[in-house]
Amino acid sequence: MRLSLTEEQAMIQDMARKFARQSLEPLAAKLDRAEDKNAEREIFLGNIKQLAELGFMGLNVKAEYGGTEAGVVAFSVAITEVARACASTAVTMSVTNMVGEVIQAVASEEQKQRYLPRLCSGEYAAGGFCLSEAGAGSDPAGLKTTAVRDGDEWVLNGTKMWISSAEYAGVFVVWAVTDTGAKRGRGISCFLVEAGTPGLIIGKAEEKMGQQASATNTVIFEDCRIPADSLMGELNDGFRVAVSELAGGRIGIGSLALGIGQAAMDYARQYASEREQFGSAIARMQGPQWMMADAYTELEASRLLVMNAAYHKEKGKPFSKQASMAKLHATETANNVCYTAIQLMGGLGYTREVPLERFARDARVTSIYEGTSEIQRVIIARELLQEI
């Protein structure tokens, strides 16, 4: 594993950092509070468009399809920098990149040419990843949405839950059961459904604890008819595709959590170096010093785990265990260090005057979506036992 970034990766990291500081950080609190939802949404989508123009919506997509072709490590460091300023923007960026990658991996050439340039350029503000359902979150093999062949069309029926960016996604990757008689996970296929297709209904946005600026919606399919060539990849092979792409998505969420945790501790560290109690800056006292030492050690461990997973994926090596380890450690660490940062700042850290309460709320969901921490432990244990 290479521990230092290449010149190109460092350039992308620097570009993401500058954009995040200049365009995202000053508006993150305003977007989180959403006092004028329409106005804030326009600002949010404007930021997404700018990220696309900078090449951040197809970082691991080939240049022939409009992507940056910078690789997984570059994607990871870019997500981390964006998340340091605005986790809501980072999750939209992460999921859209994931949608682009799954299309590149399994779609037909015609499908790639049709959808990837639109995702990468920002013509589509985002991509939607429609896998989870009310009864199929941690257990995607139990999904109930169906796709029935009717002549030259497929007819979709079912409801997807917790779909990031659904309100403004231009295309959705949708998983549905195509063989009801098959064993669990064997009769699932994957489809591409364009926004605006009759029968595709976007439900109201969820009222969430954190990541407020990023819309999360129910997506309903009611006799939604799509062309036969909307099938992506092989018939009844969709579950394998989903499992593979979720592993890649965990690198994105681990990177996002790392950025939130770093931002929280950097803010608290600066405060601790300036805040005086008992005639001295609290950063000079052993208790706060040990809190900072432990937090930054865990953050560095998270960074190395995330980089290792990204490196394995980029080199075409097995990376499922590495991705789960990275997501587990980075997301749990982000939650812990956000509370450490609040503790370091005392009562001020609990107020909305500073961003720590937002960081804590934004971090909480990272140990839930793209597979809970408990599911990551199951995956890691399974991989370890298979190695025997």
How much of the chain, in percent, has pLDDT values that exceed 90?
89
Evaluate whether residue 225 is within a structural domain: yes
As annotated, the active-site residues are 370
Tokens of 257: 């959590």
**Which of 125, 110, 117 lies closest to 170, judged by CA?**
125
Question: Which of 239, 261, 292 marks a domain boundary?
Answer: 239
Residue-averaged pLDDT of the chain: 95
Distance CA 232, CA 248 (A): 18
Containing structural domain, residue 149: 129-239
pLDDT at 76 exceeding the cut of 90: yes
Which of 3-7, 201-205, 307-311, 336-340 bottoms out in mean pLDDT, i.e. has the lowest?
Answer: 3-7
CATH of the domain at 284: 1.20.140.10
255 and 151 within one domain: no
DSSP code at position 21: I
pLDDT tens per residue, range 190-215: 999 999 999 999 998 999 999 999 99
Q: Looking at residue 37, what is its pLDDT?
A: 81
Q: Looking at residue 1, what is its pLDDT?
A: 65
146 and 49 within one domain: no
271 and 381 within one domain: yes
Task: For residue 36, name the pLDDT band (cuts at 50, 70, 90).
Answer: confident
Task: For residue 234, name the pLDDT band (cuts at 50, 70, 90).
Answer: very high
- What global pTM score does this model have? 0.95
Tokens of 201: 């209904």
Q: Which has the higher per-residue pLDDT, 243 or 89?
A: 89
Evaluate whether residue 2 is within a structural domain: no
Q: Looking at residue 138, what is its pLDDT?
A: 85
Distance CA 15, CA 55 (A): 10
370 and 250 within one domain: yes
pLDDT tens per residue, range 214-228: 999 999 999 999 999
177 and 98 within one domain: no
CATH of the domain at 216: 2.40.110.10
pLDDT at 268 exceeding the cut of 90: yes
The alpha-carbon radius of gyration of the chain (Å, integer) is 21
DSSP string, 119-138: HHHTSSSEEEEE--BTTBSS
pLDDT at 292 exceeding the cut of 80: yes
Task: For residue 184, name the pLDDT band (cuts at 50, 70, 90).
Answer: confident
178 and 61 within one domain: no
Distance CA 64, CA 377 (A): 38
274 and 169 within one domain: no
Question: Which of 126, 143, 177 marks a domain boundary?
Answer: 126
Q: Which has the higher per-residue pLDDT, 104 or 1?
A: 104
Number of domains in the chain: 3
